[in-house]
Amino acid sequence: MRRLLAVLLLCLSSVVLWSPPAYACSCVEASLAEHFDGSDIVVAGTVDHVAEPLLTMQPGEQTTRFHVDRVYKGSAQEWIDVDTGGPCGFDYSIDPETVFFVDESGGELNAGICGGTGSFSAAEVATAYGPGVAPAPGGPGPHALGAEFALLAGIGAGGSLAVLAGFLWLRLRRPSR
């Protein structure tokens, strides 16, 4: 009985000790005007690619590349990368066309649900603040297979070579008849 209790206690403690941190994502509701005034850049665009780092200790960390259709506040290029991750990021699989309320800090662009991203349509923003302007040409362009693909390809190639080397080693080691 004591052994069973010790095993049960060990299993429960391992769940508590090794579980990832939990985050509460509750935001204070704000109006369109409050989000607009509180943002450095407000743009409407279409998500092109959401990249989550392969090797990270930060849950939900991601960068979203999107094509900017209209700029309502600030200035932006046609293609921009925005840090949209963290515990209170936005799920772009729900609606790939969205209005981003972006904060710029030290050259980094950040947006999330608490800043208003995904809360309002482009039509609502255009009604309140006018049709906006076209973005400046340029930016990183559409997503291409990048470093994450190269890393996976390298791991796959290395694994294949290891299997092949092991097979050849066993084959050459076997005495011939």
Classified as helix, coil or strand, 105 is strand
Question: What is the structure's pLDDT at 47?
Answer: 84
What are the residues facing 117 on neighbouring strands? none
* Average confidence (pLDDT) over 42-47: 91
Nearest Cα to Cα of residue 134 among 67, 77, 68, 70? 70
Quick: pLDDT tens for 127-139: 999 999 999 998 8
- Average pLDDT of the chain, as a whole number: 75
Quick: pLDDT tens for 150-174: 555 567 666 667 666 666 777 777 7
Question: What is the structure's pLDDT at 144?
Answer: 58
Contact 99, 43 (CB under 8 A): yes
pTM of the model: 0.65
Question: Domains in the chain, start-ordered, CATH in brackets?
Answer: 23-150 (2.40.50.120)
Compute CA distances 80 → 6, 24, 62, 68, 131, whole Å. Answer: 54, 28, 14, 7, 20
Residue whose pair of structure tokens reads 């997503």 in the numeric block: 143
